[in-house]
Amino acid sequence: MLSFAKKSKVEILNEPIEDAMCIQSFVSGLLHACGSITKNSDGVRVDIVTDFEDIYDFLNKLIEKLYGEKLSLEISDDYIINKTTYYRLSFPIEISDQVLKDAGILQNGEYNFNGEIDENLTPDDESKKAFIKGAYVGCATSSIKLSELGSRTPTTGYHIEFASHKEKFLDNLRKMLENFSIFPKISLRKKIFVLYLKDSESIKDLLALVGANECVLELSDEMAKRDLRNTVNRQVNCINANINKTVEASLKQISAINYINKKIGLESLPDDLQEVAILRLANPQESMEELLKLSTIKLTKSGLNHRFRRILKIAEFLKEN
């Protein structure tokens, strides 16, 4: 079963990118998120390393469309450490420099791969969205788990994050998201920088921005389920609290009545107190409202409470003397 993050990525890849500038922006976002550059005697090797297999066919089509070449694919298993299969997508060396130029990473003969985003690559909203899509597919993860309405399994909070060793990349990505009124935060976690969103509405805005509209609907449905579950839990807790109060009050009253009966006998009580004492002993589990319904005594709830308070005081007096 796909995680929520991978499900949203699959949905993003279901929408083809036709515009050349947007393709370059998408590739740039992907390279900044999970790309690597290696220089050797043959030239410059550009790789995408990911655990998301579906990106291969999608990216291959984009690269073939722009450059007439195809990516190569290597698969490696890392089950010993974290039980994950990784996919290394390698660009042909013949087009690597051109890809890096188009992605704004190779400028004036210098490889700028420290996280600086070329503003000329994202001049408008559509190209910015394409870059964000590439970054999302490349390094976004989520702790969101969708639940069933009747499930009692504890659910996680709402959380989506982009993780990277390059703080500048995440800071520039944050500024780009702010352009769309999405305001993530950045923190450092074990030498890895994390740009994250925890607000459910902001997460829905991000998912809508990258084109994961089905996930937006599923998240909205999940929020409704959780709200309903929380409402039911609050009501149950309130009912249980009232039951506990009723039981505690009844036990206290019965204890006092039994003590009075043992010490001086219930017949020594005034008639009005004898009536409620016998009523309580006969109905130990009932609430005050139910006692009033069962009795022939014309009393209000306040009046019944007053009589029981008098009984409790009499029991306290007998214990002290």
Pair (170, 70) in one structural domain: yes
| Domain assignment of residue 271, yes or no | yes
Three-class SS of residue 88? Answer: strand
Q: How confident is the model at residue 123 (pLDDT cuts 50, 70, 90)?
A: very high
> How many CB atoms within 10 Å of residue 241?
10
Q: Show the 3-state SS of 283-298.
A: CCCCCHHHHHHHCCCC
Cβ–Cβ under 8 Å, residues 93 and 42: yes
Phi–psi pair at 113, nearest 5 degrees: -120, 30
Q: Which helix (H) or strand (E) holds 91?
A: none
3-state SS assignment for residue 15: coil
DSSP string for residues in 143-193: ------TT--S------EEEEES-HHHHHHHHHHHHTTT---EEEEETTEE
- The CATH number given to whatever domain includes residue 134 is 3.10.28.10
Does one domain contain both 152 and 52? yes
Task: Indicate if 35 and 174 belong to the same structural domain.
Answer: yes
Query: How confident is the model over 189-223, as pLDDT tens digits?
Result: 988 999 999 999 999 999 999 999 999 999 998 88
Residue 262 lies in a domain: yes
Q: Is residue 100 part of a domain?
A: yes
Which residues, at least 6 apart from 106, have a Cβ–Cβ distance to it below 8 Å?
97, 100, 112
Q: Are residues 188 and 251 in the same domain?
A: no
Q: Tell me which residue range forms the domain holding 275.
A: 246-320
Backbone φ and ψ of 90, nearest 5°: -110, 130
**Residue that terminates a domain, selected from 152, 186, 211:** 211
Q: Examine the pLDDT at 154 and tell me if it is beyond 60.
A: no
Number of domains, the chain: 2
In this structure, are 24 and 135 located in the same domain?
A: yes
186 and 101 in a single domain? The answer is yes
Tell whether 131 and 32 lie within a shared domain: yes
- Per the domain annotation, does 228 fall within a domain? no
Question: pTM score, two decimals?
Answer: 0.74
Residues ≥6 apart with Cβ < 8 Å to 22: 126, 127, 129, 130
Please, what sign has the CA dihedral across residues 165, 167, 172, 177? positive
Asked if residue 69 lies in contact with residue 95, where contact means CB atoms within 8 angstroms, the answer is yes
- Please state, rounded to an integer, the average pLDDT across all residues of the chain: 89
Average pLDDT over residues 88-93: 94
> Which of these ranges, 127-131, 241-245, 295-299, has the smallest mean pLDDT?
295-299
pLDDT of residue 144: 87
